[in-house]
Structure 1
Amino acid sequence: MLIVLKKNKGSVDSARVDLLNRIAYLLTRVDPQKARNYCNQSIDLAKKVKYSAGVGRAYHVMGLAYYRNGNGQEAIKPLVESVKINEKLGNEVQLASSFNLLATVFLLNIKNFDKARTYYNKALQLSKKLNNKALANRLQNNIGLTYSWQNKHGEARSMFEKALKGYKELKKRSGESKALNNIGDTYESEGDYKKALEFYNKSLAIEREIKGSPRGMATTLSNVGSVHVKLKNYDKAEEVLQEALTMAEKVTAKEEEKEVYEVYAQLYEAKGVANKALKYYKKHYALKDSLFNIEKSRQIAEIETKYETEKKEKELALRKSEIVQKDKEISSQRSILIGLLLVLTVAFFMVSRQRLRNRKNKEIFKTKEELIQAELKNAEQDLKFKNRELTTYALHIIQKNNILTELKDSIEEAVDDISDKESKGLSKLIHLINYSFNLDRDWQDFKIAFEQVHEGFFDKLQKRYPNISPSEIRLCSLLRLNFASKEIAAIMGISPDSVKVARYRLRKKLELSRNDSLVDFIRNM
């Protein structure tokens, strides 16, 4: 698609605007900043050719890019612009989509549930007018969530029941499961645990029947386990929680795994087994902290990259300005010297020539010295930049896994809106994404980038310790970059406790005493 765009670079028409918007949409998950750049290009071009529908679509995609980057506040302005334009055009399909996204921003990012409900209702009215029953069902479900999060469980249940009826009419079993699960949640929040269990079990039965996603199954099983704990059915609770944990671990669903650990802790607390309750509470909070740190690290890396880019552009502009100024000064000095030489008498010609030569030599020496100092400074800055770039690359490995997970979630959500026959093709794509989690290409790319900064590190390590394993080599490289245990766990796909064990084994293999610092030893290699 990018190749097609380059070929059509000279054309100024609506087709090019649509192409820019399509590219921007595809980039919203992978590179939100680049997606917004394409949106700005599309807006400029669409305004130039007076293509209002293209402008409205570009503003919608820009809002989506901000939302998917976790910046809900910034998403509101372009989405409101999209709404204004599409209201004037009478473009009800795009208008419904923008209302839906605006509502989601207010629900998930701003936490303004009344505002979210207002926009969901506007989108619902349009979906009914357009006879888009699938969208209407999703919107009714989301309106139910706005009530549920305000503890208005009766109103929430009413909307979930409407969504359930709509899903049944369309024979969307996955949608039925979601609605039943949400209804069960309202009963659990009201303390009617038997009724909650009834609806959770109905949801679970459908998930088993259609072989739903492991992530969805883990959530439903966790809900079932939570209710069994409250009903004091401890054996049954432990049974379903074990299945929930297996499902979550199967697809590395960290959020769901975190919630299962919390219910496990509640189970053992209710049984009076304090040590196990404490164990699972620790696992819950450790995973919670890890997920929070990964997100913050991603945001920090993005901010640092933006800052470094802007800083480098300013430095280049300043350097060009200094060169121009220096050229002017040199030119001026040459003119003065020529004038002086013409005025001087023949008697002082040789003396003046010698003085001029000395002066030039000094200037050359000084300039060379300044250039050497500048080169040394640039080399030092380049090394720091490469180290930061390497750290950012490692964080991108985590972000890539998160993006794959998020992409898979989107595909699984899309499965809800198509027939079971069509969903088979998307299921193959989900399996392909699961397989990509196990590829080792990221490590090979990381290893190449690492060697560019720390040349010969791996060779020295393997020569001195021939029995060192590949996983221990990875651990050494991450310790060399001063990553904390939680960050190493996230990158290597293991638990923080496993990192501690790996560090202990590595110390033994490197024959370090208790007083020796493992990190210092690796840095000094």
Structure 2
Amino acid sequence: MKQFYLLIYLFSIIVLPFKTLAQNKSQKDVVDQINLGVKYLSEKEHIKSIEELIAAKEAAIRNEWYTQAFNATLNIGTNYYLMLDYGEAFQYYLQAYDIAIKHLGPRQEMAVFNNIGVLYIEEKDPEKAEESFLKAYNIAKKLNDKKQIGTYGINLALVLHKMGKLNLAKRYIEEALPLLSNVPNVSLLAKIAKTENLLLQDQYFAAEKLALEILPQLDNLSLLKEQITVNDKITLLLILTKIYEKQNQFKVAQQYALLARSLQEKIEERIEVYDRLATLSSGINDYKTAMAYKDSVIIATDSLYAIKNSALFKSEKVKFQIKNYQHELMESKKALESEKRFFYLVIFAVVICMGFLVWMYKNNSLKHRQRKRIIELELEKEKSGHLLLEEQHREKEATALLEKERLKNELEVKNRELTAKAMYMASKNELIEEVLQSLLHNTEITTNASLKNQINDLKKHLKKDTQWDSFFVHFEELNQGFLDRLRGKHPQLTPNDIRFLTFLYMNLSYKEIASLLNITPQSCRKRKERITKKMDVPDNVPLHAYLASI
């Protein structure tokens, strides 16, 4: 099952560097170096891969490009994992985690927790593996990353199988399956995990059906690496051997085990297959073959031990080469410091020259500003003269307006005086009329013919409009041309109409006009309506406003 975990492990790590975008030329070089290191990793050239990734990591940290530093560090750990140096891998994963929590975010933390969980699986510590996978799973939940929720859920389920927590594992698998529907590679892994869960819960028929359904899909699947597909197929074949063994179908189980052996080329990786073949051969009482397979298990185990020793030697060799590389890097840094000092001296000389040029520029600029200031002062003086003229013009306009307002007020005062005079004449004539009427009713006066004739002459004199003529003469003097313009525009108006309109123009109230004309205020309103229609004044224009416009 090691390859089964490894697929999900590599799937979440190797693709990370390719998603990084360069922000400038130097950063792009670092990204390209990381991608080259990952290429060497996939080709199992671990020494070359680590050299490229360490160089990229140093450059990224120096320039504070923390995403690139994280990716390089994580892939260095992956190299050591594949070289079976789990302690060194763990150290680099911790470094990557430190970068993630200080400078990046939960997505990077999630990837580190997943990788550390895989390390715990290899160290046969399922409790710690569960703890790490659960942290990665919970972060994916917070990020609502459905793909990673499904992926880490499958890892959790596989660990829980080893711990015997089958129902909990089933819940994670059922949750993951719909989330991975758009990721066929990982979706098939989820189905394989479900098959294993059914087997462990003694649901052999359902496990067999699902396994046979998945098996042909693995033949047509195209993944990042062909070897990964082969490993998944071997995992599924071994599950089938266990299903048929539980059903006492040892021959069928043996056929699937032999098929698994034919797919696995390296003898050291056939240990689980040989172990299954030995168990199945014992089940059909073929002890000779079972012993042969047991010998093969021993040989493969020894071969694996030798490989581990060789891997540890290579790991130590890589560490030595890295130390040597770091020493060369320190020497390069010293040379770089020397170059920096020379560069600073050059910069200092350039700054001195620039300072002299700036001083000359400022001196010329000061002279230019002085000339410019003189021109500005002259312009301000000329502008002040214009402003003074404008101010005098505004004062003249204001004086004219005040004079106009004064004349208007004087006109209004004289009109009011004229109105008062007209009111006085009207009241005086009315009083005289009343006195004459009382005299005419006196019997002594009616019998005196001479006195009666004098009273009649006085009545005739009162009926004359000499006072009104005098009133209109004064009105015309104050409101020059108004009566002529009114008669010219409306020749159909009678003298009484003109007299009424004159009083309206003087802004007299209905009560005042009624007193002057010896009529009621209601009659004034009716006369106004009649005259308005007679003059064809628009309905939306008040009569007084119309008169003011003439």
Look at both structures and tell me which one has the larger radius of gyration over its CA atoms.
2
With normalisation by structure 1, the TM-score equals 0.49
With normalisation by structure 2, the TM-score equals 0.47
